[in-house]
Structure 1
Amino acid sequence: MVPKAEFRSYYGLPVLNAPTWRAADIAGYLFLGGLAGASSTLGAAAELAGRPRLAAGLKVGAAGALGGSLYALIHDLGRPERFLNMLRVFKPSSPMSVGSWLLAGYGPLAGLAAGSQVTGLLPRLGRFGTAGAALLGPAVAAYTAALIADTAVPTWHEAYRELPALFVGSAAASAGGLGLLVAPAGEAGPARRAAVLGTAVELVAARRMDRRLGLVAEPLREGAGGWLLRAGRAFGIGGAVLAVAGRRSRTATALAGAAFLAGAVCTRFGFFTAGVASARDPMYTVTPQRERLAEKEATR
């Protein structure tokens, strides 16, 4: 019998060049950007629902998360002017170009909302910033999914269908977690609902992704990436249990908020790590290509 084929490449080199991005920069950018966008949307909803302290905390938190996200992105780029260079053109087919313009539009609005909230000055402009940041928030939370799916990294690319839901759910859970930390118990209802719903969406998307991707989902279950993703799910479920069962306890509410935030961090870092691992092993590149070729041959 013919022995089972081994997945090798010329001179022992990977088929793909693994991403050289630093996890602290890019995974941190993914987490903080999602937290910022979802916090702006949840903060505006809290303001409309008459939860002023929750809204204030989320507005300030969104601006802080955005600042951290931009720092991580620019630190990875190496020079600040490289971010500005991406604004010279607008290319709808490029997630990087669309994302750069989204951040350029969202950033001043989120800053205006937070600045007015903290200082009490220019309330009309503050409301305008709050509304504008809330409208752009979901796109800011979701566009990074298209950004990393639009690469040759096997696990990232193959997950393009479920990844937006996964990232938006994780972002909503993190924003809800932040709200549970900053709001008094009487105002925490919207944050609790957002966190629990976001966690549910994230879990469903992760389950569908695991079933559909087949072999390419292995890095999501194994190694450091798999460990981080399991930890993220455990934190999310634990946070949901604490948020629902301990809603009358300020301590339980704060612990739930911390768990939701920790779960979102683990999810973003875990998915980033799993993608890098999939790029380093030629099996995850070669096998899906062969399967697609076999399907085409079978349909001829």
Structure 2
Amino acid sequence: MSEDPLLREPRSDAGAADTRARWPGRRRKRGGSGEELMVPRAEFRSYYGRPVLKPPVWEWKVPAYLFTGGLAAGTSLLAAGADLTGRPSLRRAGRTGSLAALLASVYLLVADLGRPERFHHMLRVAKPTSPMSVGTWILTAFGPGMGVAAAAEVLPAGLRRRLPGKIVSAAARPAGLSSAVVAPAVASYTAVLLSQTAVPAWHEAHAELPFVFTGSAAASSGGFAMALVPVEEAGPARALAVFGAATELVASKVLERRLGLTAEAYTTGKAHRLRRWSERLTAAGLLGALAGHRSRAVSVAAGAALFAGSALQRFGVFEAGVESTKDPKYVVVPQRERANRS
């Protein structure tokens, strides 16, 4: 019969030292000869080194859609303000630019679907708990009014004197104002759409992304108008550009400092390079908008910088989200931190 291990005599110090050498997780209790099992801190590993989440299958069309949607929203606001304050050049650039950006957004969104011909199914239901459904209906409410307002700008002079042209011209202002009311939601809902996914870099930044996207939309819209409108009418565009650029830069820095470990997805790799160039261009455009309000050349250069910086911001945020799904630590570590705090 085998010896009961509980009845064995205590080992010698040499035996205990040998045990500690072979089992570093064990140590002797203070004041006694027994041993206490000390479990070493576990290192996280995923199964076979594979990611916990699948990376998004979206292509470049999605970040481009995020950018054009914000541009459509901001330029519609500029157009509505210009219409009420008697700035025809700014109104025309805002309306036509907004419609062009909106059409590009719809194309990019539909083209990215696996079955583009099924896009109309999204209009068959309205689900308040789904950001995608809400966003679809926001675009549906925004689009027709902006289409009517932009049509009034491009109507030939002969058609404007006829009854259909007169009706379109009369409806342009209320149609443009109705779209401007919905514009803030168009500029920000894409941030909500991203932050409600399981992608760590987007989900963890749910408090900052709406400010980043809204500021980026304002900066690109103001820069777009600054580049196309004479300086004497571009005052509202410069003001919007300054506000948007400052908001975007501040919100981006807050995002990087608040996210902790997940911020690495924004501050390393391709996402870091895109966002750093975005910051440089946006800062340069901000300075140009502040200092070059009397120079047409400076306004064009500043507007182009703001436009490009806003686009790079969206692509940088997109790349950060994709990279954060490839490393399991961005998923597991924040979950453990939340569990320890609860």
Assess same fold via TM > 0.5.
Answer: yes
Q: Which one of 52, 62, 65 corresponds to residue 15 of structure 1?
A: 52
- Structure scoring higher RCO (CA < 8 A, sep ≥ 6) equals 1
1:135 CA drift (Å): 0.7
Is the alpha carbon distance of 1:247 and 1:89 closer, same or farther for their aligned partners in structure 2, counting shifts above 3 Å? same
Secondary structure, aligned partner of 2:251: helix
Tell me which residue corresponds to 1:215.
Answer: 261
Residue by residue over 1:113-132, the C-alpha shift from the partner in whole angstroms, topping out at 9 and shown as x without a partner, is 11111115321211122111
1:269 CA drift (Å): 0.3
Separation (CA, whole Å) in 1 of partners of 2:239 and 2:201 = 31
1:88 CA drift (Å): 1.0
Q: TM-score, normalised by structure 1?
A: 0.95
Tell me which residue corresponds to 2:124.
Answer: 88
Alignment map for 1:289-300 (pairs within 5 Å): 289-296=335-342
Structure number with greater Rg is 2
Given that 1:18 and 1:279 are in contact with CA atoms closer than 8 Å, whether structure 2 keeps it comes out as yes
Separation (CA, whole Å) in 2 of partners of 1:8 and 1:45 = 56
Tell me which residue corresponds to 1:278.
Answer: 324
Given that 2:139 and 2:186 are in contact with CA atoms closer than 8 Å, whether structure 1 keeps it comes out as yes
User: Does residue 38 of the first structure (1) align with residue 38 of the second (2)?
Assistant: no
Aligned length: 295
Separation (CA, whole Å) in 1 of partners of 2:138 and 2:316 = 25
Larger relative helix fraction:
1
Separation (CA, whole Å) in 2 of partners of 1:214 and 1:167 = 21
Separation (CA, whole Å) in 2 of partners of 1:54 and 1:4 = 63
Given that 2:219 and 2:240 are in contact with CA atoms closer than 8 Å, whether structure 1 keeps it comes out as yes
Tell me which residue corresponds to 2:223.
Answer: 177
Tell me which residue corresponds to 1:29.
Answer: 65
Q: What RMSD, in angstroms, separates the aligned Cα atoms of the two structures?
A: 1.4
1:49 CA drift (Å): 2.0
Tell me which residue corresponds to 2:334.
Answer: 288
Secondary structure, aligned partner of 1:186: coil
Tell me which residue corresponds to 1:237.
Answer: 283
Separation (CA, whole Å) in 2 of partners of 1:293 and 1:90 = 35
Tell me which residue corresponds to 2:206.
Answer: 160
Is the alpha carbon distance of 1:80 and 1:107 closer, same or farther for their aligned partners in structure 2, counting shifts above 3 Å? farther
Separation (CA, whole Å) in 2 of partners of 1:31 and 1:106 = 16
Separation (CA, whole Å) in 2 of partners of 1:111 and 1:188 = 23
Q: AA paired with 1:45?
A: G
Taking every aligned residue pair, what percent have the same amino acid on both sides?
51
Separation (CA, whole Å) in 2 of partners of 1:68 and 1:186 = 29
1:74 CA drift (Å): 0.7
Q: AA paired with 1:242?
A: G
Q: Which one of 179, 182, 189 corresponds to residue 133 of structure 1?
A: 179
Secondary structure, aligned partner of 1:185: coil
Residue by residue over 1:225-281, the C-alpha shift from the partner in whole angstroms, topping out at 9 and shown as x without a partner, is 011111111111100111221211111100011000001001000000011000111
Given that 2:265 and 2:324 are in contact with CA atoms closer than 8 Å, whether structure 1 keeps it comes out as yes
Q: Which one of 108, 111, 115 corresponds to residue 72 of structure 1?
A: 108
Separation (CA, whole Å) in 2 of partners of 1:268 and 1:163 = 10
Q: Which one of 175, 183, 190 corresponds to residue 236 of structure 2?
A: 190
Where does structure 2 lack aligned partners over 5 or more consecutive residues? 1-23, 26-39
Where does structure 1 lack aligned partners over 5 or more consecutive residues? none
Secondary structure, aligned partner of 1:90: coil
1:4 CA drift (Å): 7.5
Tell me which residue corresponds to 1:123.
Answer: 169
Separation (CA, whole Å) in 2 of partners of 1:113 and 1:269 = 30
1:81 CA drift (Å): 3.1
1:133 CA drift (Å): 1.0
Q: AA paired with 2:47?
A: Y
Q: Which one of 151, 162, 168 corresponds to residue 197 of structure 2?
A: 151
Q: Which one of 286, 293, 308 corresponds to residue 247 of structure 1?
A: 293
Q: AA paired with 2:210?
A: P
